[in-house]
Amino acid sequence: MILNALKTPDIQAEDRHGAVGATLIFLLFFCSLLRAPVPCAAQSEITANFPRNNWQPTRAPLGARYVGDKVCAQCHTSEAQFQEQTAMAHALESVAACRILHKHPALTGRIGPYTYHIVTQGGRSIYSVSDGTTVFSAPILYAFGQGQAGQTYVYHYNGAYYESRVSFFNDTKSLDLTLGYSRTHPQNVEEAAGRRTSVDESRDCFACHSTAAVQGEKLQVGHLMPGITCEGCHGPGAEHVEAVKARDFQSLHIFNPGKLSTQDLSDFCGSCHRSWQQVEMMHVEGVQSVRFQPYRLELSRCFDAIDPRISCLACHDPHHEVRTDAAFYDSKCLACHRGGGKSFKLSAARTAPACPVSQKNCVTCHMPKYELPGAHFEFTDHYIRIARAGAPYPN
């Protein structure tokens, strides 16, 4: 017996008729449940400085006009050149552009009685699962994640979008259980293939992995730009381009997250990477929270809502790939920890005590890595602290 969903749907047409959107990616490298809006502190700051009311990094107002990163690159050449190589820029890929699927055209995996295959050929990737008697198959529509840890896939079946039960993991170069799934055996090949996603889940996941996918509260898959492009953080750019051409430099109609306060920037980035408020609402506890960097950062004793030296942008430039060499971050730590006072004062002028052990490779001790079970990956914990050897993971 063969079950299949090999006819790729007309995504844009189905979206116009209110079809269920795409997927919740329950992986370390993807968005888990995102149900809370951007916290009020960030939203008020954004709307005060950006003329498009209600624009957020995961939402754009109805009628927003995008121009695409190629237009942005005409002026912002350096930023665009490096940003398009980042994992963020490839947070979502079509099958035709998916480097992992084309590099690994025959992926396999086995979980319990079920065997999984992803075969890529002729610009298509077919996802299939078999119990030895029945085979379910469907074409993959989108790949989520860039493979630092892994990549999860989305397919269409029975009028809805599904998240694949297995994912590609970079350490094994094979398929294994997607993070968040139980290892208990599904009842049939349809259940073994994946999970149907809700409208809210689909909208929120696409919003964090692509650009222009959501306007207002509506998912518009037919209009999305894969990955997080320039306009994913800076907002729809058509009015900005028009203002520049008109030499109206007083009303540039573009948003610069770098002008936000440290707290508002944490909430802004936390729209996808999870803010403190969102994690508290989600009731995530234990090591599962290690992948929510803004939340973990705000737990740090040295976090200061107004000090730019502890903001997300103090260490990470979103126009460049994340640096993995520990020594790179020493200067960031020493911007505060250069001796001086004995206490942490909440001001941008504070000077924190220097580390008595070393002033090199600070993050290896004070931001330890934790392996998330089932994730095939170690995350850097952004809760900055004196980490004691053998101490349990701190909530």
Sign of CA dihedral 229, 27, 269, 385: negative
* Closest C-alpha among 235, 312, 231, 220 to residue 275: 312
More confident residue, 386 or 31: 386
Question: How far, in Å, are 111, 127, 251 from residue 50 at the CA level?
Answer: 49, 43, 10
Pick the range with the lowest mean pLDDT from 97-106, 188-197, 208-217.
208-217
Of 36-45, 126-135, 340-349, where does the model show the most confidence? 126-135
pLDDT digits (tens, 9 = 90+) for 125-169: 999 999 999 999 999 999 999 878 999 999 999 988 899 999 999
One-letter amino acid identity for 21? Answer: G
Task: Tell me the mean pLDDT in the region 163-192.
Answer: 95
Is the model's pLDDT at 270 over the cut of 80?
A: yes
Spatial contact of 59 and 210, defined as CB atoms under 8 Å apart: no
pLDDT digits (tens, 9 = 90+) for 59-115: 787 888 999 999 999 999 999 999 999 999 999 999 999 999 999 999 999 999 999
Name the band, by pLDDT with cuts 50, 70 and 90, for residue 25.
very low
Res 33: pLDDT: 31
E-state strands within the chain: 2-4, 92-94, 106-111, 114-121, 124-130, 135-144, 150-157, 160-164, 166-169, 174-177, 194-196, 210-211, 214-215, 218-219, 225-226, 369-371, 378-380
Dist. CA 253–CA 237, nearest whole Å: 8
Tokens of 212: 């222009």
* Closest C-alpha among 334, 217, 335, 318 to residue 273: 318
Name the band, by pLDDT with cuts 50, 70 and 90, for residue 26.
very low
78: left (phi over 0), alpha (psi -120 to 50) or beta: alpha
pLDDT digits (tens, 9 = 90+) for 253-264: 999 999 999 999
Sequential DSSP letters for 252-299 = -----GGGS-HHHHHHHHHHHHT-HHHHHHHT--GGGGGG-HHHHHHH
Res 150: pLDDT: 92
Tokens of 171: 């350490």
Res 338: pLDDT: 77
What is the model's pTM?
0.83
Pick the range with the lowest mean pLDDT from 34-48, 317-331, 359-373.
34-48
Dist. CA 194–CA 156, nearest whole Å: 10
Sequential DSSP letters for 215-254 = ETTEE-GGG-EES--HHHHH---HHHHHHHHTT-TT----
Percent of the chain whose predicted confidence (pLDDT) is above 90:
68
- 3-state SS, residue 9: coil
214, 217, 218, 219: CA torsion to nearest 10:
40
Which DSSP helix (H) or strand (E) runs through 103? helix 99-103
Q: What is the separation, in whole angstroms, between the first and last Cα of the chain? A: 49
- 3-state SS, residue 54: coil
One-letter amino acid identity for 109? Answer: G
